[in-house]
Amino acid sequence: MQNRLQRLMAALEELGADGAIFHAVEDVCYYSGFDNDSLAVVGPKGRILIANALYFEAAQRAAKEFEVRSYYGASFASVLQGAVKDCGITRMAYQEGKVFHDQYLAMEAALPGVSFVPMGILGQKLREVKDETELAKLREACRITDCCFWELTKILRPGVTELDAATELQYVMAKKYHAQLSFETIVASGINGSLPHAVPSDKVMQEGEMVTVDFGAMWEGYHADMTRTYSLGEPSAKMREIYDIVLEAQLAGVAALRPGVTGAQADAAARDLIASRGYGEQFVHTLGHGVGLEIHERPNVSYRAADQILVPGNCVTVEPGIYLPGIGGVRIEDTCLITKDGCEVLFEAPKQLQIIG
Ligand SMILES: [Mn+2]
């Protein structure tokens, strides 16, 4: 935490601020260790967590580097005033993308004499490179997700609904692995596979269909993100064709990941391959995204990210897909860590087509 707070203070100085207030729970957690309803105020003279009274003691236990104050029995404005003053802040960076307009107006009214500096992407940028503590949690999230890949080979069956499969996976993840879901599981079978972010339905999975499952475990606040497409029995020739192309593109994307490469270059490695096989228009999203305390965070691995240079310690997904309305879809996704000279895929689950039954 000390190291994170030092990097923050240096970045704030560059921004022209002498302190900051964090509203986003991921950032509050990153600097304080506490991951619930609270605001983190950090300045040259102190660090104060303003917590809802319901979480006062929990915040004290978790946030060892912060003084915790509750606003129980006092006005929020007066507690905020006191905290900003005691932290010695006169030019306060704030998360303009995370604050509701009424919260901003209340801050402004409570803090006359304090100038407000929009933080931009500074908050997220400081979380782009994962430290060892974070990597241990990410690895555990990925290990559990790997186990769930095998659980899915038992859960997915012709005759089972998408919703039942998603519910079963969620139960196993909680009961057997004591993990939370990274996000709502996607189970998309047959023609539903053409919806990249399908919501599991009461559609019954059929023999001969492919099923795309996008899922992940969350461990101590850190998210894993995996997608595999399974086949219930022998797939059609068309689905087999697109599976093979997506797999080839996914491997090309992973192979492109190394320090110095831009998000756009990594994206192009997979996208160009899919386009060369005639399915460029059917790969409708970016190659991947950063993962960590948020399921989607920086760095971006996207055709739009020509200025995003990957460095060791970045943790990103590689997830090309092909989506054919009325036929189906395939997506294959790994969570990867950028290393000194390449990348490490944090999953061991196979990517060859798993034919179930
Ligand atoms: Mn993803």
Domain 2-125: give its CATH code. Answer: 3.40.350.10
Task: Note the pLDDT tens digit of each residue in 205-240.
Answer: 999 999 999 999 999 999 999 999 999 999 999 999
Report how far ligand 1's centroid is from the alpha carbon of 81 (Å).
Answer: 40
- Mean pLDDT, the chain, rounded, equals 97
Count each helix (H run) and each strand (E run) in the chain, helices first: 10, 20
Given a cut of 90, whether residue 73 has pLDDT beyond it is no
Residue extent(s) of CATH 3.90.230.10 domains in the chain: 132-356
Task: Note the pLDDT tens digit of each residue in 153-200.
Answer: 999 999 999 999 999 999 999 999 999 999 999 999 999 999 999 999
pTM of the predicted structure, to 2 decimals? 0.94
Contacts of 1 (CB under 8 A, 6+ apart): 31, 32, 33, 64, 65
Class of domain 132-356: alpha beta
pLDDT at 72: 87
Report how far ligand 1's centroid is from the alpha carbon of 205 (Å).
Answer: 23
Report how far ligand 1's centroid is from the alpha carbon of 38 (Å).
Answer: 28
Report how far ligand 1's centroid is from the alpha carbon of 105 (Å).
Answer: 35
Given a cut of 90, whether residue 2 has pLDDT beyond it is no
Q: What is the DSSP letter of 277?
A: T
User: Quick one: average pLDDT of 267-275?
Assistant: 98
What is the pairing mode between strands 210-215 and 186-189? antiparallel
Task: Note the pLDDT tens digit of each residue in 44-62.
Answer: 999 999 999 999 999 999 9
Report how far ligand 1's centroid is from the alpha carbon of 119 (Å).
Answer: 26
User: Quick one: average pLDDT of 327-356?
Assistant: 97
Task: Note the pLDDT tens digit of each residue in 284-339.
Answer: 999 999 999 999 999 999 999 999 999 999 999 999 999 999 999 999 999 999 99
Dihedral over Cα of 345, 238, 211, 303: its sign = positive
What percent of the chain clears pLDDT 90, i.e. is strictly above it? 97
- CA 23: distance to chain centroid? 18
Task: Note the pLDDT tens digit of each residue in 251-260.
Answer: 999 999 999 9
Collect residues with CB below 5 Å from ion ligand 1: 225, 317
pLDDT at 357: 80
Given a cut of 90, whether residue 123 has pLDDT beyond it is no
Report how far ligand 1's centroid is from the alpha carbon of 290 (Å).
Answer: 9
Report how far ligand 1's centroid is from the alpha carbon of 66 (Å).
Answer: 33
Report how far ligand 1's centroid is from the alpha carbon of 355 (Å).
Answer: 23
Element (H, E) at 194: none
- Report the distance separating Cα 250 and Cα 336, nearest Å: 12
Residue extent(s) of CATH 3.40.350.10 domains in the chain: 2-125
